[in-house]
Amino acid sequence: MTRIDPGFASEITKYGASDFNACFNCGNCTAICGLTANDANFPRMFIRYGMLGLKEEILKSKELWLCYACGDCSETCPRQAAPGNYMAALHRYAIASYEPTGLTKLLFKNKLLFILFTSIMALVLGVFLFTLKPDHVVSRWIFKMIPYAVIHNMGLVIFTITGMSIIWGLLNMFLRLKSNKSGEAKKNSCLSSWKEVFGELATMKRYRTCDLEEDSYWKDKPAFQKPWFIHWSVMWGFIGLLAATLLDFLLKDPATTTWWPARILGTLAGLFLIYGTSMMLLYRSRKATRSYAETNIADNVFLWFLWIAGFTGFWMEISVFFTFNHPANHYILLVHTIISMELVLLFAFSKFAHAVYRPLALFYYFRENLSNN
């Protein structure tokens, strides 16, 4: 017996779901969805869970993460219940529920708090970064107030909290997924399941089955404009930049020759990241489809952060390459560092976290052999 929790629906609304109460359970959304597999039954079943407040059903499901929130279902919903947006809201809800601090809940649900939090963080980071330059006035002043060791240790603590949060979140999700065994179905091996996960990340094979409907907005658009490719660009752009940064960090001092492979990788990845995030922001500002029109501020800011990080990073790259010394460069580097730090620090507490949750869900999905064939 599961107790119905009627208050849950309004809770989900705070994460950005609009009129999903209008749903009358026809199941058009599930029928139209290219991703819902044999027994998966989303989005309809998830709307049901939301209406009745069956929280555990949501949190222990891998199906939730099979959805890319493309919005096909919102287009065909006869009741304008926007199941696509609802699924996106559930992603936020899950991210907020998995991590232990409760910070994500506050940030996702409260617009003002979110703006305040990110601004203060940027300010603190900015001040801190100024202090790293001995020729700045602030440094003398701040070290008088707080000893260097304290600042250094505080930084370590914050990074640890962030790291622990995402590990805790993953563990949380992992235990729930494990508890949710679907029958005695034959399982695929771990290795082949991970292979499938990487295959999906590399090719976006599943994402490509979205937006195939005859009257879909994306149907006749060229591949490079389609959401799956944009998503691919952002994802691999970011991973590429991360790899380049790590290579730089491990192999040499930064800001040296441009012929180093890490350099090429970084440049290429940066271009993809800027292209992808620009397109996403463009679609959002143009409200290309309903799923772009209705988004959450935290998600938007996350995207802006990615774009700014990409753009400022690229600017620095160009400046170094052409030895182009502009007085603004200093500040641009500052902005780049602040935003990058925020992205990393908020990893567990923002949309960014889906980058680890989705692969884990996909792994369990492929392992249980529920694929679409």
Partner 1 sequence: MEKKQRIGVYICHCGGNISDYVDVSQIKDIVKGLDGVVVAKNVMFACADSNQKEMVNDIVDQKLDGIVVASCSPKLHLHTFRNVAIRAGLNPYNYTQVNIREQCSWAHSDTPSEASEKAAGLILAGINRVSHSEALENIEVSSTRAAVVIGAGVSGMRAAIGLSQMGNQVYLIEKEYKPGGHIARWGEMFMDGKTGDEIISALLTKVKSDKNITLFTNAGIGKVSGSLGNFDVEVRISDEILNLKVGAILVTTGYDHYQPAIGEYGYGELSNVITLPEFRELLNNCGDTLNYQNKKVNSIAFIYCVGMRQTKGENKYCSRVCCTTAIHSSLLVHNKFKSVLVYHLYRDIRTYGKQEVLYEQSSKNGDIYLKFDEKIPPKVSNSKHRLLIQVKDELTRKQDLELETDLVVLVTGLVPGKDTAELAGKLKIPVGNDKFFNEIHPKLRPVETVINGVFIGGSCQGPKNITESVQSAMAATVKINALTKNPTIQLEPVIARVNFDTCVWCGKCAEVCEYDAVHPLEMYGKTVASVNEAVCKGCGICAPVCPNDAIDIAQYSNAEIEGMIDGFSEKVELKESAESEDEQSAVTGAEMKDQPQLWLRISASLQKESKTIPALVKELDVPANVLTYHLMTMNKYSLVEADGMDDSDEYYYYRLKNIQHDQN
Q: Which residue has the tokens 């400046």?
A: 319
Task: DSSP letter for 6, please.
Answer: T
Rounded to the nearest whole angstrom, what is the least distance from the CB of residue 65 to partner 1 in the complex? 19
Residue closer to partner 1 by CB (options 41, 245) is: 41
Residue closer to partner 1 by CB (options 93, 363) is: 93
Separation CA 294–CA 75 (nearest Å)? 13
Rounded to the nearest whole angstrom, what is the least distance from the CB of residue 360 to partner 1 in the complex? 24
Sign of the Cα torsion 67, 7, 106, 59 reads negative
Rounded to the nearest whole angstrom, what is the least distance from the CB of residue 1 to partner 1 in the complex? 5
Q: Please report, for residues 28, 89, 292, 342, the alpha-carbon distance to residue 309 in angstroms, rounded to integers and kept in the order given.
A: 40, 25, 22, 10
Rounded to the nearest whole angstrom, what is the least distance from the CB of residue 8 to partner 1 in the complex? 10
Separation CA 9–CA 51 (nearest Å)? 5
Rounded to the nearest whole angstrom, what is the least distance from the CB of residue 51 to partner 1 in the complex? 6
Rounded to the nearest whole angstrom, what is the least distance from the CB of residue 168 to partner 1 in the complex? 29
Residue closer to partner 1 by CB (options 54, 316) is: 54
Are 40 and 369 within 8 A, CB to CB?
no
Q: What's the residue count for the chain?
A: 373
Rounded to the nearest whole angstrom, what is the least distance from the CB of residue 64 to partner 1 in the complex? 16
Residue closer to partner 1 by CB (options 48, 354) is: 48
Residue closer to partner 1 by CB (options 79, 231) is: 79
Tokens at residue 28, please? 């058009």
Contacts with partner 1 by CB under 8 A lie at 1-4, 6, 9-10, 19, 21-25, 41, 45, 48-49, 51-52, 54, 79
Task: DSSP letter for 187, please.
Answer: P
* Burial per residue of 46-76, b for 16 or more beta-carbon CB atoms within 10 angstroms, e otherwise: bbebbbbbbbebbbebbbbbbbbbbbbbbbb
Sign of the Cα torsion 131, 132, 136, 141 reads positive
Residue closer to partner 1 by CB (options 9, 138) is: 9
Rounded to the nearest whole angstrom, what is the least distance from the CB of residue 97 to partner 1 in the complex? 20
Which residues lie closer than 8 Å to 191 by C-beta, 6 or more apart? none
Using N-to-C axis directions, what is the helix angle for 83-98 and 354-367, rounded to 10°?
100
Separation CA 239–CA 248 (nearest Å)? 14
Longest Cα–Cα distance of the chain, Å, equals 69
Q: Which residue has the tokens 């492929």?
A: 366
